[in-house]
């Protein structure tokens, strides 16, 4: 998939950030190709294989064509490709606010400390509950966000227990996102209110702005 100095890229585009605490900011999205997981709710299956190889230099040149202060590296799984690491560093050096969306099963140890890490914790109903790399718990701090996509009551209880046991509510932003068209936003809002453990409701804003059939972020 990867050549020495390049990354296989699915798409680069400018849109509104739909997730994380940076929701709403105009953002350049760099979507890498390839993912080794197969989440039941995946909305970016087109990124499993489609894409073309680009050098880090060419990716940055493309990013500069957009009037953005925020850049999000997403996938697929960006950390499958080693050049994602220097790409994020160079973007930080250029003054961009950089975020990384990762599935949580690859270590974030080499990710530049300036990058906002949005780390998935895969729930049982994701189909990939074994995926989380516990070493990523070391990055639980105010810059890091742990995201749980909630597909069911069982997932909600599981997420609450996980976040409490790992003290994520105290250390980091904890985001609960309703699996789109699987559970109702209102149901999850009421669940969060009922426990008030410290989680934040996260809706995928882009899916409400653009057509649900539009490719999501």
Binding site for ligand SF4 (CB under 6 A): 35, 37-39, 42, 44, 75-77, 103
DSSP class of 216:
P
Strand partners, 173: 145
Which residue carries 């995946």 as its tokens? 42
Other C-beta atoms within 10 Å of 62: how many?
15
Min separation Cβ 149 and ligand SF4, Å: 8
Min separation Cβ 76 and ligand SF4, Å: 5
Q: Which residue's CB is nearer to ligand SF4, number 42 or number 189?
A: 42
Q: Which residue's CB is nearer to ligand SF4, number 6 or number 39?
A: 39
Q: Which residue's CB is nearer to ligand SF4, number 39 or number 119?
A: 39
C-beta of residue 98 within 8 angstroms of C-beta of residue 71: yes
Min separation Cβ 73 and ligand SF4, Å: 13
Coil/strand/helix, residue 116: strand
Main-chain phi, psi angles of 31, to 5 degrees:
-100, 115
C-beta of residue 19 within 8 angstroms of C-beta of residue 35: no
Min separation Cβ 36 and ligand SF4, Å: 8
Q: Which residue's CB is nearer to ligand SF4, number 7 or number 39?
A: 39
Min separation Cβ 18 and ligand SF4, Å: 14
Which ranges in 25-120 belong to alpha helices (H)?
Answer: 56-63, 84-93
* Cα→Cα distances 95→16, 64, 115, 148, Å: 19, 12, 11, 29
Q: Which residue's CB is nearer to ligand SF4, number 76 or number 144?
A: 76
């Amino acid at each position: 998939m990867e050549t020495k100095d390049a990354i296989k890229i699915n798409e680069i585009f400018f849109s509104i950030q739909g997730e994380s605490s940076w929701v709403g900011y105009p953002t350049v999205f760099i979507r890498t190709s390839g993912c080794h997981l197969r989440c039941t709710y995946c909305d970016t299956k087109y990124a499993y294989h489609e894409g073309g190889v680009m050098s880090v230099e060419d990716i940055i040149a493309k990013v500069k064509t957009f009037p953005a202060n925020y850049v999000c590296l997403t996938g697929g799984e960006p950390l499958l490709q080693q050049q994602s690491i220097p790409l994020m560093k160079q973007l930080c050096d250029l003054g961009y606010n950089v975020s990384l969306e990762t599935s949580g099963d690859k270590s974030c140890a080499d990710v530049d400390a300036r990058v906002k890490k949005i780390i998935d914790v895969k729930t049982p109903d994701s189909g990939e509950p074994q995926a989380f790399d516990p070493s990523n718990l070391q990055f639980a701090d105010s810059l890091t966000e742990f995201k749980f996509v909630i597909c069911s009551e069982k997932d909600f209880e599981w997420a609450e227990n996980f976040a409490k046991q790992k003290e994520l509510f105290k250390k980091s932003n904890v985001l609960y996102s309703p699996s789109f068209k699987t559970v109702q936003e209102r149901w999850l809002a009421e669940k969060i209110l009922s426990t008030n453990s410290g989680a934040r409701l996260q809706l995928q804003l882009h899916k409400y702005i653009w057509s649900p059939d539009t490719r999501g972020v």
